[in-house]
Amino acid sequence: MKRIAVLTSGGDASGMNAAVRAVTRSALAQGWEVFGVRNGYAGLLADAFEPLAARDVGGIIQRGGTILGSARCPQFAEPAGRAQALAHLAAHGIDALVVVGGNGSQSGSASLAREGFPVVGVPSTIDNDLYGNDVSIGADTAINVTLEAIDRLRTTASSHHRAFLVETMGRNCGYIALMAGIGGGAEVIAIPESEVEAPEVAERLRAAYRRGKSHALVVVAEGAKHGVQALLKLYGEQRASIGFDLRLTRLGHVVRGGVPSAVDRVLATRLGAAAVDSLAGNRHGVLVGMQRGEITATSLSEITGRMRPADTALVELARVLAM
């Protein structure tokens, strides 16, 4: 191994920069050369490579987003797109690629690995939906941003005796909503892995009102059956029967921005270094991860098409505690 490339792909996640820094400096410490690829797989197709030295990744560990840029690149899913990417990797003499990204991005890594190119994935997505890894880079920051919003909404909800329906990101995975809902003491948490039907949400709010609560919070994952707007529309005229006056907040991309938490910086640093260790040991075609506190490597073919299962017992715990 003499020369590697690193890219960040898919939705950006706080901590990606710490991962790029760790990959770059760990590889330099091995005596390898490092190239950064601009804008994810799109940069592989566009031949957007640039050398990375230790100073190029200085002062970035605390920055959200990704200095390399990111993109969604449907062309990479096509064999012709991948052939072009492989040709550019070969032209630059790149021996291996580190892909920092989420589910879609690691499917791309799996395709490259199947086609014989040495690649190691680093799990980074606020959605935390990757199989073979407990918590992805960026999820902790996104949970904390959601939690801060919930805490703020609670104060105004309480002053006005209102219930807030808060929707947070996560694509098909309810992890952010579940964790922020637990941490924020939500009355109801609705996630795709454990749906709560609209009449049941209304009934739980009614019951909370009858119990004399000054406010209530419903945390809804964007992938749940009904988003917050749909819920309000469904309630229509009957909304008054709930007792609380209802308001909604959709957090959207706000949860993806901002300064990475300490947890994300440390996780990204460890996983970035683990990706280089893996390549140094000639282990590729894997996603490095952290499972039960240990660094692990799971075959990319094993994680493709699978989603990390939700801990639905926590949904029930939140329901019991919302008394």
Positions touching ligand F6P (CB under 6 A) are 10-11, 72, 102, 125-127, 169-171, 222, 256
Minimum CB–partner distance for residue 10 and ligand F6P (Å):
6
Instruction: Please say which residue, 28 or 254, places its beta carbon nearer to ligand F6P.
Output: 254
Instruction: Please say which residue, 171 or 265, places its beta carbon nearer to ligand F6P.
Output: 171
Minimum CB–partner distance for residue 67 and ligand F6P (Å):
18
Q: Which of 127, 129, 140, 264 is catalytic?
A: 127
Minimum CB–partner distance for residue 162 and ligand F6P (Å):
26
Residue number with the smallest Cβ distance to ligand F6P: 11
Say whether 127 is catalytic. Answer: yes
String of DSSP letters for 93-144: T--EEEEEE-HHHHHHHHHHHHTT--EEEEEB-TT--BTT-SS-BTHHHHHH
Instruction: Please say which residue, 130 or 322, places its beta carbon nearer to ligand F6P.
Output: 130
CA atoms of 36 and 24, how far apart (whole Å): 9
Q: Which segments of the chain are extended strands (E)? A: 3-9, 33-37, 49-51, 96-101, 119-123, 162-168, 188-190, 216-221, 245-250, 286-291, 294-299
Task: Tell me if 10 sits within 8 A of 44, measured CB to CB.
Answer: no
The sign of the CA dihedral 232, 234, 239, 241 is negative
Instruction: Please say which residue, 30 or 172, places its beta carbon nearer to ligand F6P.
Output: 172
Minimum CB–partner distance for residue 243 and ligand F6P (Å):
32
- Indicate which residues carry an active-site annotation: 127
